[in-house]
Structure 1
Amino acid sequence: MTIEVTSTSEEGYTTRSRVGDFELTIDATGEDGPDPNATLIADYASCFIPAFRVGGQQEGFDDLGRIDVDVEGDLDEDDDLTAIRFHILVEADLSDDEFDAVVERAEGICHVHTALREELHAEITGETDAF
């Protein structure tokens, strides 16, 4: 399988990318759209949530309910990401051990997690029975 994307910047620092039938606008200055680092961590969280749901199913939890991920990313003086933190809020009531087991499975399922260098993997905390 191959992913094909066409990205175009006509001027300045804004890039519009066509991904299949969708258009994504990313702006290095953050004026016309999210910047690349914000887009990366949003993409990471957007990949991790379905991976968390699949991990939950594999652990016997078919209905986790609502899942929110609050994400923080730390930047160095060159605006390079140095750390990512996820705080996951899960509607279902899981024990700490059950939550950790689902997280571990999700880390193996999430393709963005796998693609990032290990030192940039999200530090993950969470709360269950959160809503």
Structure 2
Amino acid sequence: MSDIETTTVSEEGFGCNSQVGDFDMSIDATGETGPDPNSALVATYASCFLPAFRVGGQQRGEDDLGKIQIDSSADLDDDDDLTAIRFDIHVAADLSDEELDEIVERAEDICHVHSALREGLHADITVHGNAF
């Protein structure tokens, strides 16, 4: 038995509806009826990295990072394949660049999506402390 099972259905066109546990998710290759797969991947990556960043902070003794926001951007080649992903992370806590870099390193080890992507596509990450 698999650890993760999903069902994805397309009745017509390029839009797909996926059942992920108790949740429905719509993705459309054309971006007309939902996010396109590349956008969904970038959002999923950020959605995994943000809690990993919090855990990385806790491992360093920073239990209250406050609000965290990840602004993601990505580049596509002429075939619409992802060639680069960037995270611009804004953190409410007032931490030094060194402390933030240590948390990023821990988050990279914790984030499952980060581990799953080929090394050349890992996010380039910038973190901004005391951002709010």
What TM-score range do you get, normalising by the shorter chain?
over 0.9
Distance in 1 (CA, whole Å) between partners of 2:78 and 2:118 is 20
- Unpaired segments ≥5 residues, structure 1: none
> What is aligned with 2:87?
86
TM-score (normalizing by structure 1): 0.99
**1:48 to 2:49 alignment:** yes
> What is aligned with 1:31?
32
Q: CA RMSD in A?
A: 0.6
AA of the residue aligned to 1:4: E
Distance in 1 (CA, whole Å) between partners of 2:20 and 2:101 is 34
Matched pairs, number:
131
AA of the residue aligned to 1:126: V
Tell me, what secondary structure is at the counterpart of 1:108? helix
- Unpaired segments ≥5 residues, structure 2: none
Tell me, what secondary structure is at the counterpart of 2:35? coil
Could you give the per-residue CA deviations for residues 23-51 of structure 1, whole angstroms, max 9, x where no partner exists?
00000000000000000000000000000
> What is aligned with 2:78?
77
Q: Structure 1 runs of 4+ off > 4 angstroms?
A: none
CA shift, 1:120, in A, is: 0.2
Tell me, what secondary structure is at the counterpart of 1:82? strand
Q: Percent identity?
A: 67
TM-score (normalizing by structure 2): 0.98
